[in-house]
Structure 1
Amino acid sequence: MITLLSIALASAAAIPAPAAPVVAAPAGTVSGTAEGGIRVFRGIPYATPPVGALRWRAPVRLPRWKGTRSATAFGAACVQPQGSTATIYSGAPMPVSEDCLTLNVWAPANARNAPVMVWIHGGALVSGSSREPMYDGRKLAERGIIVVSINYRLGVLGWLAHPGLSAESAQHVSGNYGLLDQIAALSWVHDNIAAFGGAPRKVTIAGESAGGLSALYLMTAPAARGLFAGAIAQSAYMISMPELHRGVFGAPAWETGGQALGGALKTPDVASLRAIDAQTLTDSAAKLGFAPFGVVDGVVLPRQMVDAFDRGEQARVPVLTGFNQGEIRSLRMLAPKPPADAASYEREIRDRYGELADAFLRLYPAADYPQSILATTRDALYGWTAERVVRRQTALGQRAYLYLFDHGYPAADAADLHAFHASELPYVFGTFATTPPRWPRVPDTAGERALSDAMLDYWAGFVRDARPVARAAAAWPAYGADRHYMHFAATPQARRDLMPGMFALNESVMCRRRATGTIGWNWNVGLAAPKLPPAADCARPAGAQPGVSANPTR
């Protein structure tokens, strides 16, 4: 018996599936998938991965492949520690490999000379992947931009320095391999994105946490110059960096650190290190406390980020940057252990901060010391960095936009995770339904969708023409002389003068530590701070550009 249902099913079956999109790019021809009005290409290799005996070398440009390569599945994630403690950031298990230098593209079907956002995932340079569902670029692409997400080498495989490796290098440097991967990916985008409908000269780099840190590295890396025209840095941190050949700011020479790791692993030379299985090496290095960072080598990263920004040597591009009100609520391991009581807290702060203690305690009072401890670490890492970046770019005559993400929702607030680290990401990507399993679930309500739509608009607008504009939300003024910022709470609201006194205090502490040459500026703040060094002259350093001063104005 023929029914209406059977007729409907037969009619649906008769409709042909959308043809797989095929793009003939300079790198080679790829076939992807059509998802609504968006063409998606997953797992495209952008460089030859240096693996095994070639480990710890710069990525190599791929020769053009023959035939049509299927680009319908994500590539493997880069090797990262396995079996670590589950957190709200932990996702489903994913395949990992040293052969991981791939990228993904979301492009509107009718894209022509479209602006491009290159997304760099976070994960402390230790973990993460471009294949994480929360980074799906479809909703951003629906706003007329092309989204590219990339993998890069992580942990000891991406950031190890060693005298043996430096000896192999024509430039006599080592480390920064993960950053060289990012630069190689940007070079691939520059050479190939026009075939996908993108504009090579309208590329914006973007990332959160270690991805935001990477954006700052790229802004100071000479080899990345000209490969991007804007930068988005979410929850970035402009902390002190190790240097290749000498110990500075409390960190050993990075080559020496690599030698020490080799000694602990009973591997006397680079060949022995390369003989270790990638996963075993990664897990062992992590257990021994290896923490990856970009290293000042004089070539890939010429100098400390603070110095590069003070001298006006960073990329002269518009920026959008900010941080979250509850950054440390989900990263409590970064904060020192609370004392017994308020009196102990105040006593410790006065002992450590000396003449700046009154200013410190006004911002982070003893009366609410558990919250003050969280705010201290948040501001020293993320708040100070964000405002420093917008101040320096403004001084260079570039448009700069600052935000504070202060949005809560029931599941997060009930878990004492109001506006936690990375909680803006499902709003930026519009991916409420694909957050990690332990992530406080975002309710799919009209209010939450409206906030996400606004943030999608702002981010896409900045990528499009360096102006974050939303169709149905408040105007977002540039930071400028009036210190404007956007406050994301229930709705976006433009405000002025973010956390008065916060930037000046943290800038002063950084300045004094930098002057010693022996004390870093990172997580060692508040109750974990060393005694405050003497006042130092933070005037514009030698070689700085006119109008760019290291002195905070307030």
Structure 2
Amino acid sequence: MRSRHQVPAPGPEVKTTGGLVRGITRRDVHAWRGIPYAAPPVGERRFRAPQPVVPWEGVRDGSRYGPVPIQERVGEFIGAGRTTPMDEDSLTLNVSAPTTPSTEPRPVMVWFYGGAFVVGASSAPTYRGDDFVRRGEAVFVSVNYRLGALGYLDFSSYGTPERPVESNLGLRDQIAALEWVRDNIAAFGGDPDRVTIFGESAGAISVTTLLTVPSARGLFHRAIAQSSAPGMVFGQERARAWAARYVTALGADDDPLAGLTTATPHQLLGAARVLRDTLGDQPGTIPTAPVVDGDLLPEAPLAAFEAGRAADVPLIIGTNDTEGRLFELPRLRMDVLVSEERAAQMFALTQPELREQVLAVYGGTAFRRDLGGDYMFWYPSVRVMQAHRGPVWAYRYDLTTPVLTLMGVRATHGMELFGVFGLADKAPWLTLLGGRRDLRAMQQRVQDDWIHFAHHGTPASHWPTYDADTRLTKILDRADRTESDPRRERRLAWQGFRGYD
């Protein structure tokens, strides 16, 4: 009996800076998986900036994804699944390209996954990207980067001249991957002068942050931020206080550097759980996030946008209708201000004078379902929309299905991924009660826009640019429409809110 699944054929060999890689070919797509873009960040390289890739002898097998970064196993939709190998040696990326020849180099789309900087992997089935390759005549790249304590807690104050420790390691990984793309992507048929970075959630925070990192300038030329939380970048004083709590949870107060560099991954994850459980005094923060370190990241991204110091590349940016509702679900609970008491505490620590005017506009809503998502994702994204010096196309994703409506989450955080990655026929639970036709039509429109943007720097559809006067925003729904200044009352209530440092 013939298998239902096509067995991949050996693909072409490509020479990279590390050596030769042999890919696989399946359904008109060449794929090269698990390509190292930096040296393994293990041993003396733990908590160090990524180092140049270690060359290999012979031809490397590119048929399998590399190990996923160290993380909790919390489900394959946003994480690494339960069976994928996991290892600190995870700084790899994957490249997919059309099998058809081309006389011109193709645009490159580089994907950064989400997961609150604590879970995620480029090997998750959600992020295959084959639709962009087949439909868009593009080269698709997905990147692993370090997560959690290994990637985003700031332990730099514990370093010594003999054993330095750098900050923002996950962000540095992403920059190293973009440098690899610059130096290698032409061998895969890609155009190093037409690179679009895009991501969702933590991946979108990465996008909006990279727009403000001086050393990332010139490594990409367009950007798409899907549900970014641009304000989830914190000052070094706060970040180092979180690092100190982590060291205590690890039991390494006597010799923090030794404890950090010799702990097992299991011990590192255990300390991260303790840190997470002790952050109740700082609602609406995540300790695993980029830090304004005065080195790689000289200032807060929102401040850089508003001062005109962000890279002025074309930008698509938007959020979903009900961002915060995802985090009410069991096993996905996060502190997105899911109670009035937590919100009051957050305002007391940030700008108490704005508390009453903000809370007043949510009086007629299910409180915990709306304010948290607006605080973390929507309003900071609006600040980017109105401040960015390059062309901006703004959206709000509203499409829901009967199942999502019945669950009470509607178009919540992450739901646009089904359209972007063409998953209408791969997630039957989502359309169990109907809505598949609408989702199929949505994925066609969204992919058309994303692909055209990668090729030309503009969306394919009629989509006016955003500016601070008209605030024209595309509402992605069963029938797309354009609105001027959607949720104006909420925006005015939040106006002037700066958040944590």
Above 0.5 in TM-score? yes
Q: Is 1:312 matched with 2:308?
A: yes
CA contact (8 A) 2:227 2:320 kept: yes
Call closer, same or farther: CA 1:487–1:453 in 2, change over 3 Å: same
Rg (Cα) greater in structure:
1
Q: Is 1:262 matched with 2:250?
A: no
Q: Please give the alpha-carbon distance, in whole angstroms, between the structure 2 residues aligned to 1:230 and 1:43.
A: 25
State the match for 2:261 in structure 1.
274
State the match for 1:389 in structure 2.
384
Q: What stretches of structure 2 of length at least 5 have no aligned partner?
A: 280-286, 329-333
CA contact (8 A) 2:151 2:170 kept: yes
Counterparts of 1:44-193 in structure 2 under 5 Å?
44-82=35-73, 89=78, 92-93=81-82, 94-109=84-99, 110-111=101-102, 112-142=104-134, 143-163=136-156, 165-168=158-161, 174-193=166-185
Determine which of 197, 202, 212 is the counterpart of 2:194.
202
Q: Please give the alpha-carbon distance, in whole angstroms, between the structure 2 residues aligned to 1:264 and 1:321.
A: 38
Q: Please give the alpha-carbon distance, in whole angstroms, between the structure 1 residues aligned to 2:351 and 2:444.
A: 43
Call closer, same or farther: CA 1:356–1:424 in 2, change over 3 Å: same
Q: Please give the alpha-carbon distance, in whole angstroms, between the structure 2 residues aligned to 1:313 and 1:339.
A: 36
The aligned amino acid for 1:363 is: V
- TM (norm. structure 2) is 0.86
Q: 1:133-181 CA deviation, whole Å, 9 max, x = no partner?
A: 01111001121111100000000011232355443489x7732111110
Aligned length: 474
Provide the secondary structure at the position in 1 that maps to 2:71. Answer: coil
State the match for 2:331 in structure 1.
none
Determine which of 283, 298, 301 is the counterpart of 1:302.
298
The aligned amino acid for 1:462 is: F
The aligned amino acid for 1:390 is: M
Call closer, same or farther: CA 1:420–1:160 in 2, change over 3 Å: same
CA contact (8 A) 2:396 2:474 kept: yes
Q: How far 1:357 sits from its partner (Å)? A: 6.6
CA contact (8 A) 1:107 1:147 kept: yes
State the match for 1:360 in structure 2.
358
CA contact (8 A) 1:53 1:275 kept: no
Call closer, same or farther: CA 1:159–1:362 in 2, change over 3 Å: closer
Q: Please give the alpha-carbon distance, in whole angstroms, between the structure 2 residues aligned to 1:403 and 1:477.
A: 10
State the match for 1:334 in structure 2.
335
Q: How far 1:339 sits from its partner (Å)? A: 6.5
The aligned amino acid for 1:459 is: W
Provide the secondary structure at the position in 1 that maps to 2:235. Answer: coil
- TM (norm. structure 1) is 0.78
Q: How far 1:285 sits from its partner (Å)? A: 2.1
Q: 1:192-250 CA deviation, whole Å, 9 max, x = no partner?
A: 00011111111111110000111112111112111011111111112263333xx3xxx
CA contact (8 A) 2:325 2:373 kept: no
Q: 1:397-448 CA deviation, whole Å, 9 max, x = no partner?
A: x21110000111122111112001101101101023445x987769683332
Q: Is 1:404 matched with 2:402?
A: no
Q: How far 1:283 sits from its partner (Å)? A: 2.9
Call closer, same or farther: CA 1:166–1:433 in 2, change over 3 Å: farther
Q: 1:18-77 CA deviation, whole Å, 9 max, x = no partner?
A: 552222334422111122222111111111122133210011111443322111111111
CA contact (8 A) 2:10 2:23 kept: no
Call closer, same or farther: CA 1:20–1:443 in 2, change over 3 Å: farther
C-alpha RMSD of matched pairs (Å): 3.1
Call closer, same or farther: CA 1:28–1:433 in 2, change over 3 Å: farther
State the match for 1:550 in structure 2.
none
